[in-house]
Amino acid sequence: MCLWRFLEESGDRCKIIYVSGESIKDRVYELALEKIKSEEKGVRYSQLHEYITQKLHGVPKNTIHGALWSLRQKIISGEEDRIIIPERGLYVWKDYYQKGRSYETKETLRKLKEEDFYETFAEYMIEELGECTRAVALGGNIFQDKWSTPDVIGVYKFSELDPIRPPPEIISAEIKSATDTQSLITAFGQACSYKLFSHKVYMVIPKQAGNEALSRLESLCMLFGIGLVVFNVENPKNPEFQIRTRAQKSEPDYFYLNYYLSRLPSEKKRELFG
């Protein structure tokens, strides 16, 4: 039987231990469970590996990786049901996770109107993202079609000094101040619908939605070419917009582009196109 020799820390003392390969895997499991249970917000894989490496001197890092991979398979299969992996690389004790989610309600954060963020994001699209030369707040039902009325719409027009001047590009944004799952799913669906008449689309959601929701939405946005921006919903005067994913340009359906632009009020057209 293969034996390993390693040092294990225990408080201020260390001891040399000879154990079999299977015993090392069992010890890795024990230390992993110990660490995960001690952190209410969960533990990242890299933190877990570092913690075990410090505890088990002399055990090759790949051996620890292998043991943790086996633990992950047990979690995924349901054999180990005390731990969940709600997002990539994050291990959470199930009881803590369920307790945290039980407090998620629409009233968790102070109620704020989405309209409070329209103007500041329009400025952000121009000044920080550089995606627009002009942008205006819309929202409501200006297009007489709720699923096709972005909260902010902008245009990027190339300068007369540019040697090559492609047609103007339309950029749309969907902003959500709510953090509940249903609102975020609705926002994503609306953002997808804007691709019908927009060259680029951004989804803008509170960072207070949590890492799990942000991770899922970031992956979805990358799949669909939608940009993702997060912000501090508790501070309308300084939302601290941060880009997570850049929007990818795609060609809209020009029939619908012209159809919806024709529904813009005259003052909004002048703001966008001069």
CATH at 245: 3.40.1350
| Residue after which a domain boundary falls, among 101, 126, 155 | 101
Torsion angle of the four alpha carbons 206, 210, 216, 222, in this order, in degrees rounded to the nearest 10 = 40
Indicate whether 96 pLDDT > 80: no
Q: Which tokens hold the place of 58?
A: 């002399």
pLDDT tier, 7 (very low <50, low <70, confident <90, very high otherwise): low
Q: How far is CA 113 from CA 140, 182, 183, in A?
A: 12, 17, 14
pLDDT score recorded for residue 118: 92
What is the spatial distance between Cα 172 and Cα 151, in angstroms, rounded to a whole number?
Answer: 8
Instruction: Assess if residue 57 is contained within a domain.
Output: yes
Q: Is the pLDDT of residue 235 over 90?
A: no
Q: Residue 230 pLDDT > 80, yes or no?
A: yes
Torsion-angle region of residue 78: left (phi > 0), alpha (psi -120 to 50) or beta?
A: left
Could you give phi then psi for residue 219, rounded to 5 degrees? -65, -40
Task: Encode 132-170 in three state secondary structure.
Answer: CCEEEECCCCCCCCHHHCCCEEEEECCCCCCCCCCCCEE
Name the more confident of 40 and 117: 117
Q: Are residues 151 and 255 in the same domain?
A: yes
The residue among 101, 129, 161 that closes a domain is: 101
Polymer length of the chain: 274
Give the domain extent around 64: 3-101
CATH code: domain of residue 28: 1.10.10
Residues 126 and 84 placed together within one structural domain of the fold? no
Average pLDDT over residues 233-240: 87
Average pLDDT score over residue span 179-185: 90
Report the 10 Å Cβ neighbour count for 79: 9
Residue 228, pLDDT > 90, answer yes
Q: Which residue has the higher pLDDT, 5 or 218?
A: 218
Q: Do residues 186 and 251 share a domain?
A: yes
CB 186 within 8 A of CB 123: no
pLDDT score for 110: 45
Residue 106 lies in a domain: no
Last residue of a domain, one of 45, 68, 101: 101
The confidence band for 8, taking pLDDT boundaries of 50, 70 and 90, is: low
127-175 pLDDT tens trace: 999 999 999 998 777 777 766 789 999 999 887 777 877 888 999 999 9
Q: For the chain, give me the number of helices (H) and strands (E)?
A: 9, 12
Work out the pLDDT band at 107, boundaries 50, 70, 90.
Answer: very low
Top-confidence range, 12-26, 66-80, 88-102, 230-244: 230-244
C-alpha distance from residue 142 to each of 27, 212, 241 (Å): 63, 33, 25
Residue 264: phi, psi to the nearest 5? -65, 140
Q: What is the tally of structural domains in the chain?
A: 2
